[in-house]
């Protein structure tokens, strides 16, 4: 009798993982059109008067408002994904759920992809080190914590944990 209960629990776990994965994919897909909006302007400390800039051959070029550079679009989407990832795992810490965990994995994978597209389309030289990256824009290189690597490691750990739970 306990064997059939275990099969039922395993099926229930797979269903929760599937629900979380679908939820994560749907919300991630919705973030892409949101990245085209001026959602990010709501968090700006000052009004954007001069438009946007791009980096070409070490020069900063103003492009006005006539088009949205790819790096800015990817920054907006990755920021939304980062917030979704943080909120999901805060909720997971409060009340563990397989749906939250599996949707958090989708947000993590999507964040890492959009984060690195952002970094490599910005046009400024980027040097990636373990857990940090250096960006040279104007003046001295700036060192940043590389959240892409941090989230990638946590996401790999969560995938491993879920796989071990499902198999064992």
Q: Is the pLDDT of residue 146 over 60?
A: yes
Burial class (CB in 10 A: 0-12, 13-18, 19+), 122: buried
Phi-psi region of 144 (alpha: psi -120 to 50; beta: other; left: phi over 0): beta
The per-residue pLDDT for 7 is: 44
Entry pTM: 0.81
Q: Is the pLDDT of residue 6 over 50?
A: no
3-state helix, strand, coil in the chain (%, to 5): 65, 15, 20
Residue 59 vs residue 32, higher pLDDT:
32
Q: Is the pLDDT of residue 133 over 70?
A: yes
Q: Provide DSSP, 69-107.
A: -HHHHHHHHHHHHHHHHHHHHHHHHHS--HHHHHHHHHH
Q: What ranges do the domains of the chain cover?
A: 2-167
Q: Render pLDDT for 58-90 as a digit per residue (tens, 0 to 9).
A: 666 666 656 678 888 899 899 999 999 999 999
Confidence bin at 136 (pLDDT 50/70/90):
confident
Please give the span between the terminal C-alpha atoms of the chain, in angstroms, as a whole number.
Answer: 19
Sign for the pseudo-dihedral over CA of 128, 88, 21, 81: negative
The per-residue pLDDT for 2 is: 41
Three-class DSSP category at 45 = coil
Q: Render pLDDT for 45-63 as a digit per residue (tens, 0 to 9).
A: 555 555 566 666 666 666 6
Nearest CA to 102 out of 30, 168, 149, 163 is that of 163
């Amino acid at each position: 009798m306990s064997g059939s209960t275990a099969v039922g629990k395993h099926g229930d776990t797979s269903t929760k993982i599937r629900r979380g994965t679908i939820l994560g994919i749907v919300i991630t897909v919705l973030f892409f059109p949101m990245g085209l909006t001026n959602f990010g302007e709501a968090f700006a400390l000052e009004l954007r008067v001069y438009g946007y800039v791009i980096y070409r051959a070490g020069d900063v070029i103003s492009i006005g408002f006539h088009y949205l550079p790819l790096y800015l679009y990817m920054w907006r989407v990755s920021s939304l994904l980062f917030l979704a990832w943080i909120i999901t795992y805060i909720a997971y810490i409060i009340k563990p759920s397989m749906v939250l965990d599996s949707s958090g994995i989708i947000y993590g994978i999507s964040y890492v992809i959009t984060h690195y597209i952002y970094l490599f389309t910005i046009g400024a030289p980027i040097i990636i080190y373990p857990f940090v990256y250096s960006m040279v824009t104007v003046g001295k290189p700036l060192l940043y914590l590389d959240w892409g690597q941090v989230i990638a490691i946590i996401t790999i750990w969560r995938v491993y944990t879920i796989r071990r739970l499902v198999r064992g």
